[in-house]
Structure 1
Amino acid sequence: MKVEVFKTNIVDSLIANSFVFELMLLFPSAQINFDLDDCDKILRIKTESICVKTIQRLFSEKGKWCELLDD
């Protein structure tokens, strides 16, 4: 399993939940969660295969942004 961690500008739990729903459509076997209490508003995605550009495109289409954090 691969884990990718993103810094986001999501601050609202309802918006975060809608992103989780849409990301689950793209990555059905993934484990996806937000940590909105973290100062970086973290999004974690754990899955076998992931496309960072697809995730960034989804955020951009919704007027939000995310940035992949280095290990």
Structure 2
Amino acid sequence: MIEVFKTDVQRVAQAKKLVTLLLQNFPKSKINFDLDDCDRVLRVEGEDFIPEKVMMLVNENGFLCHMLA
């Protein structure tokens, strides 16, 4: 499964912190940001992650995160 999320993450350091956090919760997933995209895309690929939990974790760390259709 692959899910793509729109975020408001601006800095590489912020993205790295979130990737580390998300990998702690979903260690078998591939997770990355595209901060050059206008939607500051977060891409999560794997079988064991829950999209709602991804959004919750990002939101709890002070960033907006919405699933893209």
Please give the range of the TM-score, normalised by the shorter of the 2 chains. over 0.9
How does the TM-score come out when normalised to structure 2? 0.94
User: Is residue 46 of structure 1 aligned with residue 62 of structure 2?
Assistant: no
Root-mean-square deviation (CA, aligned residues, Å) is: 0.8
How does the TM-score come out when normalised to structure 1? 0.92
4+ runs deviating over 3 angstroms: none
Distance apart, 1:50 and its partner CA: 2.0
State the alpha-carbon separation in 1 of the partners of residues 7 and 67 from structure 2. Answer: 9
Letter in 2 for 1:37: D
Q: SS of the residue aligned with 2:39? A: coil
Between the two proteins, what is the percent identity of the paired residues? 39
State the alpha-carbon separation in 2 of the partners of residues 42 and 60 from structure 1. Answer: 14
State the alpha-carbon separation in 1 of the partners of residues 3 and 40 from structure 2. Answer: 14
Consecutive unaligned residues of structure 2, counting only runs of 5 or more, are: none
Letter in 2 for 1:39: C
Count, aligned residues: 69
Letter in 1 for 2:2: V
Consecutive unaligned residues of structure 1, counting only runs of 5 or more, are: none
Distance apart, 1:59 and its partner CA: 1.5
State the alpha-carbon separation in 2 of the partners of residues 20 and 10 from structure 1. Answer: 12
